[in-house]
Amino acid sequence: MILKPLIENCQLLLEGTLMVIKLFLTTLVFSLPLGLPIALGANSQIFPIRLLCQGYVWIFRGTPLLMQMFFFYFFIPINIGIAPSLFSTIAFTFILNYAAYFAEIYRGGINSIDRGQFEAAYSLGLTKWQTTRDIVLPQTMKAILPSIFNEVITLVKDTALAQTLGMMELMKVTYGIVNRTSMTTIFLYTAIIYLLLNLIITLVAGKLETHFSRYDAKEEF
């Protein structure tokens, strides 16, 4: 019976899925806002701030997420003596990593804004912060929405890396079931769960893009 593995292991798969959602939401809630000041800092005219932010992005985008997880899980406790929980360590690593990617997306969107809009805003007496808040960021968010959701979908799949440190997320649970029962059909159900999670994200992305396109249509009208 093809549904037998699903029925027998439904509780375990549900627990693994909930852990994926927990890690996903924790990462998203903190990394999305964290990426913005990093992006602004990378464009700063103050050299130390620009160097610090660009270096941060370079390090976290230039090294594997898996290696970063090992660094924070093994190096920090051994050398500093701080031993946070497994979930906290993994979530912290994910947040720092994805903040770097979101920062580059933000920075690309900000840099795509026509420089004439900055000059027009300054001529009207707006400060640099007012220009960024009221003119640049609203346009940037519309432009970067597809790239943001592309990273969000990648984040769902990257949660599977957490199983390398023993966190009982969906893939770890799946491997455990297969090793215990030899029922490889469970991989199919795990794949379906990931597809359903990404389907939800895709539908949300479509709704937001439609929402912003309506504003564009009104502006053109």
Cβ-Cβ contacts under 8 Å for 93 (sequence gap 6 or more)? 65, 68, 69, 71, 72, 73
Which residue from 199, 216, 191 is spatially nearest to 17, judged by alpha carbons?
A: 191
Question: Where does the pLDDT of residue 218 fall: very low under 50, low under 70, confident under 90, or very high at 90 and above?
Answer: very low
Question: Where does the pLDDT of residue 214 fall: very low under 50, low under 70, confident under 90, or very high at 90 and above?
Answer: low
Q: Is 64 helix (H, G, I), strand (E, B) or coil?
A: coil
Q: Kindly state the average pLDDT of the residues 31-41.
A: 94
pLDDT digits (tens, 9 = 90+) for 135-182: 777 777 778 889 999 999 999 999 999 999 999 999 999 999 889 888
Please tell me the distance from the alpha carbon of residue 97 to that of residue 35, in angstroms, as a whole number.
Answer: 10
Residue 44, phi then psi, degrees to nearest 5: -65, 150
Question: Where does the pLDDT of residue 9 fall: very low under 50, low under 70, confident under 90, or very high at 90 and above?
Answer: confident
Domains and CATH numbers, the chain: 4-220 (1.10.3720.10)
Please tell me the distance from the alpha carbon of residue 171 to that of residue 167, in angstroms, as a whole number.
Answer: 9
Mean pLDDT taken over the chain = 88
Does pLDDT of 197 surpass 90? yes
pLDDT digits (tens, 9 = 90+) for 42-91: 988 999 999 999 999 999 999 999 999 999 999 888 888 778 899 999 99
Does pLDDT of 99 surpass 80? yes
Helix axes 10-42, 86-111, angle to 10 degrees: 40
Count Cβ atoms within 10 A of the Cβ of residue 176 and give its class: 0-12 exposed, 13-18 middle, 19 or more buried.
middle
Q: Answer yes or no: are the C-beta atoms of 70 and 97 closer than 8 Å.
A: no
Question: Where does the pLDDT of residue 25 fall: very low under 50, low under 70, confident under 90, or very high at 90 and above?
Answer: very high
Task: Please give the pLDDT value at position 79.
Answer: 83
Task: Please give the pLDDT value at position 114.
Answer: 78
Q: Kindly state the average pLDDT of the residues 92-115.
A: 91
Q: Kindly state the average pLDDT of the residues 182-209.
A: 91
Task: Please give the pLDDT value at position 1.
Answer: 56
